[in-house]
Amino acid sequence: MIDMEARYYERLDEETVRCTICPRACTIKPGKRGFCGTRENREGNLISLTYGELSAIAVDPIEKKPLAHFYPGSRSLSISSVGCSFTCPWCQNYHLSTGNIQNQATKKMMPEEVVEIAMAQECTSISYTYNEPLINLEYVEDTARFAKESEVKNVLVTNGYISVPALSKMVDAIDAANVDWKGFTEEFYRQHCSADLQSVLDATEYMHKHGVHVEVTFLIIPETNDSEDEARRMARYLVDHLSPDVPLHLSRFFPMHKFTHVPPTPVETLLRARKAALDEGAHYVYVGNLHEGNHEDTVCPSCGTHVIKRRGYTITGWSLDKDNRCKKCGAQIPVVGHRESHGLSVA
């Protein structure tokens, strides 16, 4: 374990400190840790316990993050540590999010090493993912800045629970983010996540306004956040406060962790939510974890052409020109970068 003094904290007195990464702003006494368990007060200094400690490293298609409009077909080096700032009882990666540095096997890896691996594997980007990356913010920032120097992109796969002051110090190092909006009521966030919705919305808007390519994921859970009205209000907020061009990924729930009693999301619920989002003006609405239909395709909002066809995480059709315009009607499709194959650009 690397003892790394945190950068995102303030001293309240000679012994007590306050973490400034997330809106929870934990006040931490000597010998204690904050809510996420990754930071410890040692004699009045806040120490990051997870700096350089990776629980997983793998090469993924960028579509798995999921990002549909960011260097389609490219490879992303996915890395994770342990811990989370939320308490979601349905977490798919609960063994990482509920783990801590003492009981979870990790491998020590410095930021420069991660970038070297990404380049060796011909990865266009590095994705900070699997567990919540923002609680390991110093490591994410350091790795992202090394990556930038080598022209490797940086992707956050995140719950978006970060204070705007902390985000403002490192947002310039981030190229893209998929932000998981868990639901669309404050009650939902309090009950299931031990957090608040508005802070997530504020951070998402901040990233979008400061040049980060943003996509949003909404996991629809039966009898929890699956009303058509919730999907409609979420889409309306996305259209009004971000842009109708921001992709929205509606994801199918499968039983996991403490929610094994909840059935998978019915297909009709997902398709009804998709229609509601489109009706509210969202241009690009995808349905994930659904192995039927063509709801992962990118559809031109002007003429209805399926300009990017997908099966799972694989691109099976491409009808965009070199400027990412629809070949049929010429409408500009908001895709960052061009289609790639094995991390290398192709015509």
Q: What is the pLDDT of residues 214-233, one digit of tens each?
A: 999 999 999 999 999 999 99
Per-domain boundaries in the chain: 4-48, 53-345
Shortest CA distance to 45 belongs to which of 81, 82, 8? 8
The pLDDT of 27-35, averaged and rounded, is 97
Kind of pairing, strands 153-158 and 176-180? parallel
Confidence band of 104 (pLDDT split at 50, 70, 90) = confident
Strand order in the sheet with 45-48: 4-5, 45-48, 39-42
CB 10 within 8 A of CB 166: no
- Mean of all residue pLDDT scores within the chain: 95
Question: pLDDT value at position 182?
Answer: 98
Least confident of 73-77, 263-267, 286-290: 286-290
Structure tokens at 154: 């940086």
Q: Is the pLDDT of residue 300 over 60?
A: yes
**Distance, CA of 190 to CA of 86 (rounded, Å):** 10
Q: What is the pLDDT of residues 161-180, one digit of tens each?
A: 999 999 999 999 999 999 99
* CA geometry: angle 61, 208, 342, nearest 5 deg: 15
Long-range contacts of 259-264, Cβ-Cβ distance < 8 Å, separation of 24 or more: 259/89, 259/90, 259/221, 262/90, 262/221, 262/222, 262/223, 262/224, 263/222, 264/222
Shortest CA distance to 86 belongs to which of 202, 181, 171, 10? 181
Q: Is the pLDDT of residue 342 over 60?
A: no
Question: pLDDT value at position 283?
Answer: 98
Regarding the domain delimited by 53-345, which CATH topology (the fold level of the hierarchy) does it fall under? TIM Barrel (3.20.20)
